[in-house]
Amino acid sequence: MMPRFWREIPSRYSLMGSRCGNCGKIWFPTRDMCPDCHRKSLGKMEPYRLKPEGTIVTYTVIHTAQKGFEAMAPYVMAVVELDDGVRVTSQVIDCEPEDVAIGKRVKAVLRRISEEGKEGTINYGYKFVLADQPY
């Protein structure tokens, strides 16, 4: 049997959301029910592959990292509006905080978020890099 984190990678890697078959709204992360249509949308949510590119709407530079993440500070947390219109809050990595600006284009990249316990369960998730970075 494959470890859980590997099984989860394909869906995360393709940045999957849900599209409501009733009103057409796109949600991320995936939902079983459309927050707008509620019960009407039951059974009508379809998987939707989001375009992993977007624009920085706003951002904050975090100078005091939470426990376990001290080495990362300062780092940038940004609200990114993906080209599909969905807003995602995530970290902008591999750049200096002063390189980040509202309106800059970013790309989603899959990165290791944390490693837990002896078995080394690795959690992957999305972070953003500036689109003009060489990735």
- Binding site residues, Zn ion, CB under 5 A: 20, 22-23, 34, 36-37, 41
- 85 Ramachandran zone, left/alpha/beta (phi>0; psi -120 to 50): left
Query: 25 vs 127, which CB is nearer to Zn ion?
Result: 25
Q: How many CB atoms lie within 10 A of CB 115?
A: 10
Query: 53 vs 84, which CB is nearer to Zn ion?
Result: 84
CB of 99 to Zn ion, least distance (A): 38
CB of 55 to Zn ion, least distance (A): 24
Determine whether 82 is exposed, middle or buried from the number of CB atoms within 10 Å of its CB (0-12, 13-18, 19+): buried
CB of 48 to Zn ion, least distance (A): 12
